[in-house]
């Protein structure tokens, strides 16, 4: 059974922890005074000393909210900010959760971070907290994307994983994503349990802080260890295996690709994967090539918006590129731009990319006689109904879901082989064959790179989408869904 899921994660406001401004209005000054007495970090001390009353209130009126997406906030001093103390407190809460729910001797947490300001510092602080609580920590030697963190959790059989990132938010933000032992972002139930542990803690009195260097590669029962390069290589190899090309398929691997990591983590893994699969005609956007948490060329590094893609589009025009790809700072979100029929570069929406994936995956499985019995496409209720039309044209059943947790449950229960999600990376559960080698379930980003080749003679990806729509229109199943559900320039779609 195949499952392809089109969705976007979110944090339910009712499931977040954190006090409102009204509830905590009388306490913020007292908490500020406590920080003035306890903080030892010079830059935080300077920031605290320079705060006026309004700044004090905003920084201390509540604790940072924690939910299924972890925590996220502005970098700075205060309980409502991301700093080593709030990161350590969250890490202590996660450590307490792991110690309560996993047997002694089997407790470990994998760690990665992106290019954001202080991400490397926060990752080391978290590792020290875990080690001080008797939990082995596995940390990458350099910044690595979220999908690599998810893979490491499973490959190393960890109890949990954390990714220090604020995804595609502006540079003043940072944050902390938490992953379960299955490599998936934690469910609401797990987030509530971690939140309960965090809320028990005093930020200065109850957090065990361990020195990173003292625990690094120690011979004792608890240590911090660097994740080997082999884990990263294994991840890349598993991503490459997701290709659905048949032995007789011929594609043009010399297509001109412009790629931008938007100053994030994607440069090495994306270009390596492309090159090792034969796509070597790659131009990287120079100004956005190297990691830089200030994101100097795109203040809002979300590759789904045109402003972040503008420099890449200029490169694409200059190089007459067939495809423009860009990934967000933690490389779990992709932006795609291709030429339309008028030769202008247009961004594909998430719905368009998802529909291309469904059509390509199904068509390749039919072509190669690998379509399983009773195939299923899973999508959220907010995804385009065009996905239904494409799936049904291949005899696949469409199952709508209305919560993120439902998709996780379907995979974990064995009712689905895999899921594809626009923001999160999942484990590929092989329920009936638990000893099978680990496989990566590619996110939309990975599949978009490895599973939508431009065939010889095919002008561009927009034409591929148009072709799929034309075929559906011919047999009367499409109607006006493309116009209704695609919020794009009508020139991209068939007239």
Q: How far apart are CA 199 and CA 209, in angstroms?
A: 18
Q: Which two tokens stand for residue 438?
A: 């680990």
Phi first, then psi: what are they for 255, rounded to 5°?
-60, 145
Q: How far apart are CA 313 and CA 306, in angstroms?
A: 9
Place of tokens 């412009």: 258
The CA-atom distances, in angstroms, between 257 and each of 333, 449, 454, 472 are 17, 10, 11, 29
Q: How far apart are CA 313 and CA 439, in angstroms?
A: 34
Pick from 381, 295, 357: which is nearest to 114 by CA?
A: 295
Number of H-type helices and E-type strands within the chain:
17, 15
Backbone CA torsion sign across 479, 484, 485, 489: positive
Q: Which two tokens stand for residue 120?
A: 């490397």
Pick from 200, 194, 168, 166: which is nearest to 179 by CA?
A: 194
3-state secondary structure of 489: coil
Phi first, then psi: what are they for 392, rounded to 5°?
-65, -25
Other Cβ atoms less than 10 A from the Cβ of 157: the count is 10
Catalytic choice (150, 167, 407, 482): 167
What strands lie across the sheet with 66-67, from one edge to the other?
Answer: 66-67, 70-74, 173-179, 160-164, 108-113, 136-139, 224-226
Does residue 167 have an active-site annotation? yes
Q: Which two tokens stand for residue 62?
A: 């509540």
- What is the set of active-site residues? 167
């Amino acid at each position: 059974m195949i499952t392809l899921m089109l969705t976007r994660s979110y944090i339910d406001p009712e499931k977040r922890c954190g006090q409102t401004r009204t509830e905590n209005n009388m306490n913020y000054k007292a908490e500020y005074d406590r920080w003035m007495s306890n903080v030892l970090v010079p830059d935080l001390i300077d920031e605290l000393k320079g705060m006026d009353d309004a700044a004090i209130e905003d920084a201390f009126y509540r604790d940072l909210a924690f939910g299924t997406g972890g925590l996220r906030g502005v970098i700075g001093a205060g309980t409502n900010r991301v700093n080593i103390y709030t990161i350590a407190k969250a890490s202590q809460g996660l450590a307490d959760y792991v110690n309560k729910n996993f047997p002694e001797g089997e407790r470990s947490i994998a760690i990665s971070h992106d290019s954001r300001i202080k991400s490397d510092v926060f990752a080391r602080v978290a590792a020290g907290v875990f080690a001080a609580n008797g939990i082995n920590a596995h940390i990458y030697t350099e910044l690595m994307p979220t999908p690599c963190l998810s893979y490491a959790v499973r490959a190393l059989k960890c109890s949990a994983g954390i990714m220090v990132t604020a995804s595609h938010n502006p540079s003043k933000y940072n944050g902390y994503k938490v992953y379960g032992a299955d490599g998936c972002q934690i469910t609401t139930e797990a987030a509530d349990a971690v939140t309960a542990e965090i809320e028990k803690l005093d930020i200065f009195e109850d957090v065990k802080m361990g020195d990173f260097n003292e625990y690094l590669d120690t011979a004792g029962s608890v240590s911090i260890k660097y994740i080997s390069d082999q884990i990263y290589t294994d991840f890349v190899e598993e991503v490459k295996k997701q290709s659905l090309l048949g032995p007789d398929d011929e594609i043009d691997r010399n297509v001109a690709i412009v790629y931008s990591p938007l100053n994030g983590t994607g440069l090495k893994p994306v270009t390596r994967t492309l090159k090792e699969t034969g796509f070597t005609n790659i131009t990287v956007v120079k100004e956005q090539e190297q990691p830089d948490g200030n994101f100097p060329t795109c203040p809002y590094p979300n590759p789904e918006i045109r402003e972040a893609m503008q420099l890449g589009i200029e490169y694409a025009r200059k190089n007459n590129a067939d495809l423009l790809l860009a990934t967000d700072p933690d490389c779990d979100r992709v932006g795609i731009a291709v030429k339309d029929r008028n030769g202008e570069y247009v961004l594909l929406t998430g719905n368009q990319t998802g529909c291309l994936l469904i059509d390509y995956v199904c068509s390749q499985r039919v072509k190669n006689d690998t379509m399983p019995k009773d195939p299923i496409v899973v999508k959220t209720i907010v995804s385009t109904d065009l996905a239904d039309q494409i799936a049904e044209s291949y005899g696949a059943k469409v199952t709508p879901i209305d919560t993120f947790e439902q998709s996780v449950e379907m995979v974990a229960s064995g009712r689905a082989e895999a899921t594809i999600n626009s923001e999160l990376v999942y484990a590929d559960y092989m329920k009936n064959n638990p000893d099978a080698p680990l496989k990566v379930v590619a996110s939309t980003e990975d599949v978009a790179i490895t599973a939508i080749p431009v065939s010889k003679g095919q002008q561009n990806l927009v034409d591929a989408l148009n072709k799929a729509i034309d075929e559906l229109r011919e047999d009367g199943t499409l109607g006006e869904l493309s116009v209704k559900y695609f919020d794009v320039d009508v020139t991209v779609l068939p007239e």
